[in-house]
Amino acid sequence: MKIVAVRYRNVFLFSAVVFLLFLAYEFLIAGAEEPLELVQGVKDLGTFCSKVAEDCYFVKQEVKRDKSVLRYIESEKYSRDGMFKMTIVPLEVESNKVVINRKSLSSQYISVMATFPYAIGALRFDAPGQKVLSIGLGGGSLDMFLRITRPELDITVVELDPTILEMATRWFGVVEDEKRRTIVADGNDFLEKAALKGDTFDVIALDACNSGASTGVPRLHSTPRKRWRTRRKR
């Protein structure tokens, strides 16, 4: 019995020592970590060159005067003097590090695209299983905002350029799960195949720009009007 008691006592002492060491780390080491310092300016995060677009993209992060933080993509060909940005995503400080804020939008037109389907009744808050198709990924501003704020939606994103998907996954927090998926394909071809299979969507968001559009206008001109009328009828 004495041997058993000694063993239990040793186990208790060992557990107590481990617990005290854990507390010491949390309060003396981890707790002494200095707050994240945000320095105003622009930082280059990475460069990605695309064979599809024959262009190179630069991922940048900017800390503004008011300490707000944005992450965005610029094009080597078309982002002259920083006027054209392919996507802009807000960030926030969490647990002493900067993370993507998916509950906020920094682009007015993305805000309109996210809310307009509800305004016209194409999407409803009380109807689960509604399907959204987004053509064009960028940094995932629209689809990831909907994924986080409206988890009942089923979201499919079609992106032509695998380089865009690589950037969005690495630097913009785009994730693949049972409610949101990215398909690397041509948007026109995807729509044609979906129509032939009888697949339907409650909303189709067009956010794909032609590679030379410094205005950011969706490339509707590359799709004949007859093909769009056919899709609406189907």
What pLDDT score does 30 carry? Answer: 40
Contact call for residues 161 and 52 (beta carbons, < 8 A): yes
One domain, residues 113 and 200: yes
Q: What is the pLDDT of residues 91-118, one digit of tens each?
A: 998 878 889 999 999 888 899 999 999 9
One domain, residues 136 and 68: no
What pLDDT score does 94 carry? Answer: 84
Q: How many domains does the chain have?
A: 2
Q: What is the pLDDT of residues 179-194, one digit of tens each?
A: 999 999 999 999 999 9
Does 132 reside within a domain?
A: yes
pTM of the model: 0.76
Mean pLDDT, to the nearest integer, of 62-71? 93
One domain, residues 126 and 184: yes
Q: Which of 40, 70, 45 is nearest to 58 (CA)?
A: 45
One domain, residues 116 and 96: no
The boundaries of the domain holding residue 191 are 108-206
Mean pLDDT, to the nearest integer, of 120-149? 95
Does 17 reside within a domain?
A: no
Does 36 reside within a domain?
A: no
One domain, residues 128 and 193: yes
The kind and range of the H/E element at 51 are: none
What pLDDT score does 78 carry? Answer: 87
One domain, residues 90 and 54: yes
